[in-house]
């Protein structure tokens, strides 16, 4: 057990949306949660969102610390994990959730929008997994859960960068699962469908209605629908599951 006798859970992009719901799903007296966030736009607003995640987690009987860390920066990620290890001495769960979209049709897509999405979604997942895996390998235990997307399997016009990043995460999940299995570490991905967060709030009502029309369960998903599956995959109940992509999409992909 960690120095403070708590389970150490690290969640990227925990300040809002699905990441915040994941923090809340792990909240409990025996768990120390660390999450990060990072958008260069409006630091004060992002800090306020991170504070809210901390407050909500405390209200749910847990403890969460949010730090501004860009998952793209190997240096910032290394410092983030150093601090965590300094405080708890271990990493029990890593959830790679941070992600962005920069949508556009292929022929009009700027190289910088391709790079930004691949960097944050895919390289960020690599950066955090690589560091957490070293500690988990020494522990001979750990759960890694990557947040992919239904479109990483189905494809989606207007999102070639995002789809490529999520398909990359799916392949990455399977390869890392095979590399780490003998060390007692499971690696799985959750592929959400259409979940109500800031990421989807900007979609036109017509687009949202069309998407909901394709969902057999007849409703959009809530961040909590994703978070509960992540918590399950990080539990002993899921100990015999690795390398899998679990769709949480109301049946959008069957
Ligand atoms: P969101 O509400 O936009 O939240 C994204 C989170 O990622 C925020 O906490 C954000 O921090 C953080 N982030 C962005 N860039 C970062 C960086 N460079 N370094 C560290 N953190 C960064 O998104 P969401 O809808 O909750 O999505 C969460 C994950 O689910 C993403 O991977 C997304 O692709 C995936 N997903 C979402 C849906 C959906 O329908 N919503 C569907 C499928 C998959 P700031 O607050 O500082 O910006």
Bridge pairing between strands 142-147 and 185-192: parallel
Residue 160 lies in a domain: yes
In-domain check, residue 97:
yes
- Give residue 1's pLDDT: 47
- In ligand 1, which atom is closest to the CA atom of 38? 47
CATH, residue 172: 3.40.50.720
Would 254 be classed as within a structural domain?
no
pLDDT above 70 (res 2): no
Within-domain flag for 164: yes
Q: How far apart are CA 15 and CA 126, in angstroms?
A: 20
User: Does the beta carbon of 225 lie inside 6 Å of ligand 1?
Assistant: no
Whether 253 is in a domain gets the answer: no
Count structural domains, the chain.
Answer: 1
Q: What is the pTM of this model?
A: 0.98
Asked if 146 contacts 230 with a C-beta cutoff of 8 angstroms, the reply is: no
Catalytic center residues: 162
**Confidence (pLDDT) at 43:** 83
Mean pLDDT (the chain) is: 96
For residue 127, name the pLDDT band (cuts at 50, 70, 90). very high
Residue 2 is assigned to a structural domain of this protein: no
99, 120, 166, 167, best to mutate for ligand 1 pocket (most atoms within 8 Å of CB): 99
Report pLDDT digits (tens) over 201-248: 988 899 899 999 999 999 999 999 999 999 999 999 999 999 999 999
Relative orientation angle of helices 43-59 and 17-26, to the nearest 10 degrees? 30
Residue-wise pLDDT for 77-103, tens only, equals 999 999 999 999 999 999 999 999 999
Look at residue 1 and tell me if it is in a domain.
no
Please list the residues that pair with 8 across neighbouring strands: 32
State how far the Cα of 220 lies from the Cα of 33, in Å rounded to an integer.
Answer: 28
Question: Does ligand 1 come within 6 angstroms of the Cβ of 100?
Answer: yes
Helices 17-26 and 223-233: angle between axes, nearest 10 degrees: 50
Give percent above pLDDT 70 in the chain.
98
The answer to whether position 147 is within a domain reads yes
Domain carrying residue 127: 7-247
Q: Are the C-beta atoms of residues 22 and 230 closer than 8 Å to each other? A: yes
């Amino acid at each position: 057990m960690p120095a403070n006798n708590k389970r150490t859970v690290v969640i990227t992009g925990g300040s809002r949306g699905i990441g915040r719901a994941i923090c809340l799903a792990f909240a409990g007296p025996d768990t120390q949660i660390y999450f990060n966030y990072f958008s260069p736009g409006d630091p004060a607003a992002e800090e306020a969102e991170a504070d809210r995640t901390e407050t909500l987690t405390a209200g749910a009987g847990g403890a969460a610390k949010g730090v501004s860390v860009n998952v793209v920066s190997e240096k910032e990620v290394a410092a983030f994990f150093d601090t965590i290890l300094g405080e708890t001495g271990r990493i029990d769960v890593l959830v790679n959730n941070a992600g962005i979209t920069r949508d556009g049709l292929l022929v009009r897509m700027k190289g910088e929008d391709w790079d930004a999405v691949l960097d944050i979604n895919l390289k960020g997942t690599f950066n955090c997994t690589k560091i957490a895996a070293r500690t988990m390998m020494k522990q001979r235990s750990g759960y890694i859960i990557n947040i992919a997307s239904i479109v990483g399997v189905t494809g989606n016009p207007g999102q070639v960068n995002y789809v490529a990043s999520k398909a990359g995460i799916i392949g990455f999940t399977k390869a890392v699962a095979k590399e780490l299995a003998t060390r007692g570490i499971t690696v799985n991905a959750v592929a959400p469908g259409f979940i109500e967060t800031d990421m989807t709030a900007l979609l036109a009502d017509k687009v949202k209605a069309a998407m909901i029309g394709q969902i057999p369960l007849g409703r959009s998903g809530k961040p909590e629908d994703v978070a509960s599956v992540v918590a399950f995959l990080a539990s002993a109940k899921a100990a015999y599951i690795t390398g899998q992509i679990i769709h949480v999409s109301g049946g959008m992909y069957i």
